[in-house]
Chains A and B, each alone.
Chain A
Amino acid sequence: MKARTCWNAVCTVEDLVPESGIAVWTEDGPVAVFYLPHRLPALFAISHTDPFSGANVLARGITGDLKGEPVVASPLYKQHFNLITGVCLEDDSVRVKTYAVLLDGNRIVLETADKQREAVAA
């Protein structure tokens, strides 16, 4: 069964930095939102936590593409993560969580697990 999710506004377009990432705090913990204006879709969201160091830093990595796939390089140990799948290019057994992200008017909305409703359902 698919877990219930909900959409949350996390920031506005003005908060984004083109070609780079910012971090937001969500019910699911820290999430990195990237804005790559030269791609379609241009928004990506993955966990902000670098699985190799445990530190919350992925939004601060350098973005780009490798073989056409959008990626961010961890600023600590430089592994690349695919922004669409979350899979680490250097070690495909490692993968960070990805989130659906949309532009709603001026607001950036993220799909995260709905903890409250899950709790009620349980």
Chain B
Amino acid sequence: MSKKTLIVIGNGMVGHHFLEQFVASPEAAEYEILVFGEEKQLAYDRVHLSEYFTGSTHADLAMGTADWYTGQGIKLQLNEPVTALERDQRMVTTPKGNYGYDELVLATGSFPFVPPIEGREHPHCFVYRTLDDLDAIRASAQDGKSGVVVGGGLLGLEAANALRSLGLQAHVVEFAPRLMPVQLDTDGGALLRHKIEELGVQVHTEKATTDIVEGENARLRMNFNDGSHLETDLIVFSAGIRPQDALARASGLEVGERGGIVVNDQCTTSDPHIHAIGECALWDQRIFGLVAPGYTMARTLASVLNSDRNAAFTGADMSTKLKLLGVDVGSIGDAHGQTPGARNIRFNDEQAGHYRRMVISADGKTLLGAILVGDNSHYDTLLQYALNGIALPSNPETLILPEGQGGAPTLGPDALPETASICSCHNVTKGDICGVIDAGCSDLAGVKAETKASTGCGGCTALLKNVVDNELEKRGVAVSKDLCEHFPYSRQDLFHLVKVNGIRTFRTLISQHGKGQGCDICKPVVGSILATCWNEHILATDHVPLQDTNDTFMANMQKNGTYSIVPRIPGGEITPDKLIVLGEVAKEYDLYTKITGGQRVDLFGATLSELPEIWEKLIAAGFETGHAYGKSLRTVKSCVGSTWCRYGVQDSVGMAIHLENRYKGLRAPHKVKMAVSGCTRECAEAQSKDFGVIATENGWNLYVCGNGGMRPRHADLFATDLSDEELIRTIDRVVMFYVRTADRLQRTSVWMENLEGGLDYLKKVILEDSLGICAELEEHMNGIADTYQCEWKTAVEDPEKRKRFREFVNLPEQKDPVQQWTTERGQRRPVLESA
């Protein structure tokens, strides 16, 4: 029996995906498959087209290989456009001949729309769609200085970035009053514009181009309807796409009013033997200009051709998440809040450059849409809420408020239903993932290989990992808690290795237990562990390269590269003489001076080379380092207590000073704060600290694991009516247990919440010594307190260490030229040109 013929017109992303699906199905054996492509290259990843400018070749971007086509018995004829379609004879025509078909698939994609502007045919006018387009743009850019992109949508901004990467001054001309008018609202568009302009791309909105003529100072000149004009060496049109429906139109297939080949749920056109998928297809009056819906159509059609009666395309989510010129932009569902009764929650931080908007249903229960600019870390969670109609929490605003510690709030993978779509490119649900895990996949790589999840646009990578980790964990498979690529251990494991094996340098640790040279994740962690274990000076040669700059230079780097200095003022108590010294030093070095929330004084604007000089003076006056730069004890805040306050029942200042002196310098996984109040009125706000102490008639109540910041947490009452000695002993134990077992950058609150058994467990370990480690914890803490040294004192006394503080080692007098200053409210502050 002779085989039937299937012809596919268009060898783009969707056409290729269709072939992959179809050849794997039983029906494929019944067909000869013939593919025509107009472009001369085999189907390539158009989504990542721009990478062609940053080093990728066609081979890198290609979706398959010629060998694959041959191996599958597919005849691929590239560089051969189909020019006519005879439906009566079931025949297509190319410049090379006529070919008959039994079934025909149109996967012709779309073409860029070029507005009918006079002069648009100029040789230095381009579009941005194919590799050939990019070759032409690259050639034109070679001796040009500037380029304009017409259209400020998603693709236009991507093109502008490409022009920038070619070394051109890039401009974007947009007809609408804001950028990305489809995806963003006014505030989001304004923020995006601001960010993009900061990167040196000039944005011109509300400009309609009337004509393009020869330029005077550049090749071209664009005249605008408002009388203004812009000169440029090349122009890229990116004013939208139009479905490529020419063949369908000419052969009398039903097409949409504004273009697009009309298809039903089975992706079949008005002719039962002709099907259309991808960007050329019009379904339910809609065109889908993204790759994921195209892939879904391709899968649907492959099933339809296998006589699957249930196969149907039911629309697709058009949410997008992308990085445009390095700026995160996300748009989900009904981003503009067009659903009747929809309500909005907006968060707009102009300082940080973050804008987030949630569109919520009238009953407040579900998320309809969202807009994100500047930070996409909330995207995955919001998308899951929107796609799956998951009930919002009672305080939905927490989903878009800035994170405290621990990253953006995420929806636990357990909260997702089985039907939740995890990867929309390859249509993988949480249920599919559970399925392959149950069938024996035991790691992320395996799940990816089985399901193809996260091998498309890559947008679902983080979510996929989350779901897979969670499912594996539920099935008792150990999930990697590796610190980074250099150490297959958690912080706690490393602590153990260092302690037990007496390891004293990073080098030894990495050569015995890790690989490579280390990085900015593991080095500071190990630095902090070594400091806790052995308490050597942090500027000891072996330790210098481990530290974050703040630790290395023992000061806090500010945005212009200068440092701030915070001397320790234990308990916030300071003599007038010492206060005067602070004032004198600040005056001499013109340091901006501010009182901190921790009851001390912060001096800003010292250059690297000034730091040791300043500290020499401070040390001479009896000051010590305040460790404001370190992951260590910051301050012990106190109220004035029984010495002055008529309500006070204990000497809170005395206790605060005692605590501060005991724990100063201790290196921890994160900063540690403490406070002491002299009575239950709690003027020192002790319950917002990692360790809060409140005086009682009989002694002290201890509260643990609280914190302020973005996600405040009240400390929990841990023990009551402690004597001075009992209090110190208890804090010693908790502090050391935290330092030994917490993860990197974990505050005490998160650490405690993650301890299995939580507060009760912690009480058992510390108060009942259930692990039998309390004596060791106390001894360790005593050792640290005994070997305390003021790091700054050691540093200024050692000429070798002082050498580190030269701004430029070859020119000690050279001042850093970017540090420029102005005066505000009587003090000096930096002006920093934005880069």
Chain B CB within 8 A of A71 CB: yes
**Number of chain A interface residues as a range:** 35 or more
Choose from B518, B557, B835 the contact partner of A75 (Cβ within 8 Å): B557
- A70 to B, closest residue via Cβ: B517
Determine whether the beta carbon of A62 is less than 8 Å from that of B516. Answer: no
Residues of B within 8 A of A30 (CB): 808, 816
A68 within 8 A of B: yes
Q: Is the CB of B54 within 8 A of A55?
A: no
Additional A-B contact list (19), CB under 8 Å, known A24-B811, A30-B816, A62-B545: A10-B809, A18-B545, A19-B517, A23-B809, A24-B809, A30-B808, A39-B517, A49-B818, A51-B835, A52-B835, A55-B818, A56-B561, A56-B818, A57-B561, A60-B553, A62-B520, A66-B485, A80-B520, A94-B326
Is B519 within 8 A of A20, CB to CB?
A: no
Interface status of B512 (Cβ within 8 A of chain A): no
Are A25 and B161 within 8 A (Cβ)? Answer: no
Q: Which 6 A-B pairs have the closest CB atoms?
A: A19-B545, A55-B561, A64-B519, A75-B549, A54-B835, A73-B520
Minimal beta-carbon separation of B16 from chain A (angstroms): 26
A67 within 8 A of B: yes
**Chain B residues near A25 (CB-CB < 8 A):** 808, 810-811, 814
- Distance (Å) between the CB of B733 and the closest chain A CB? 32
B interface, over-half SS: loop
* A61: Cβ under 8 A from any B Cβ: yes
22 of the cross-chain contacts (CB-CB < 8 Å) are A15-B809, A19-B544, A19-B545, A20-B544, A23-B807, A25-B808, A30-B808, A30-B816, A52-B835, A53-B559, A55-B560, A56-B561, A56-B818, A62-B520, A62-B523, A62-B545, A66-B485, A70-B517, A75-B548, A76-B559, A91-B323, A94-B326
- Residues of A within 8 Å of B75, CB to CB, are none
Find residues 1-40 in chain A having any chain B CB closer than 8 Å to their own CB: 10-11, 15, 17-20, 22-25, 29-30, 36, 38-39
- A63 interface residue (CB < 8 Å to B): yes
Check if A60 sits within 8 Å of B835, measured CB to CB.
no
Which listed residue, A22, A57, A64, touches B809 by the CB 8 Å rule? A22
Does chain B have a CB within 8 A of A78? yes
Q: Which A residues are within 8 Å of any B CB, using their own CB? A: 10-11, 15, 17-20, 22-25, 29-30, 36, 38-39, 49-57, 60-68, 70-71, 73, 75-76, 78, 80, 91-94
Instruction: Select one of B517, B523, B561 contacting A38, CB under 8 A.
Output: B517
Q: Quick check: B519 and A66 within 8 Å, CB to CB? A: yes
Q: Is A76 a contact partner of B519 (Cβ separation < 8 A)?
A: no
How far is B524's CA from A62's CA once the two chains are assembled, in angstroms? 9
Tell me if A61 and B519 are in contact (CB < 8 A): no
Q: Is B497 among interface residues, defined by CB-CB distance under 8 A?
A: no
Residues of B within 8 A of A54 (CB): 818, 832-835
List A contacts of B524 (CB < 8 A).
62
- Using a CB-CB cutoff of 8 Å, which residues 544-558 of chain B contact chain A? 544-550, 552-553, 557
Assess whether B164 is interfacial by the CB under 8 Å rule.
yes
Q: Which residues in B have their C-beta under 8 angstroms from that of A17?
A: 541, 544-545, 804
B165 part of interface (Cβ distance < 8 Å): yes
B648 to chain A, nearest CB (A): 43
Q: In the assembled complex, which residues on chain A have CB atoms less than 8 Å from the CB atom of B808?
A: 23-25, 30
Partner of A63 from the list B165, B326, B545 (CB cut-off 8 Å) is B545
Q: Chain B residues near A11: list those with CB within 8 A.
A: 809-810
Give every chain B residue within 8 A of A71 (Cβ-Cβ).
Answer: 519
Within 8 A of A (CB), among B504-552: 516-520, 522-524, 541, 544-550, 552
Within 8 Å CB of A23, what residues of B? 807-809
Quick one: closest A residue to B519, CB to CB? A64
Q: Which residues of A contact B54 (CB under 8 A)?
A: 92-93
Contacts A25-B811, A73-B519 hold; do A61 and B549 have CB atoms under 8 A apart? yes
User: In the assembly, what is the distance between CA of A64 and CA of B487, in Å?
Assistant: 13
Chain A CB count within 10 A is highest, among B54, B323, B560, for B560
Task: Tell me the bound Cα distance from A92 to B548 in angstroms.
Answer: 24
Residue of A nearest to B50 (CB): A93
**Least Cβ–Cβ distance between A38 and chain B, in angstroms:** 6
A65 touches B832 (CB 8 A): no
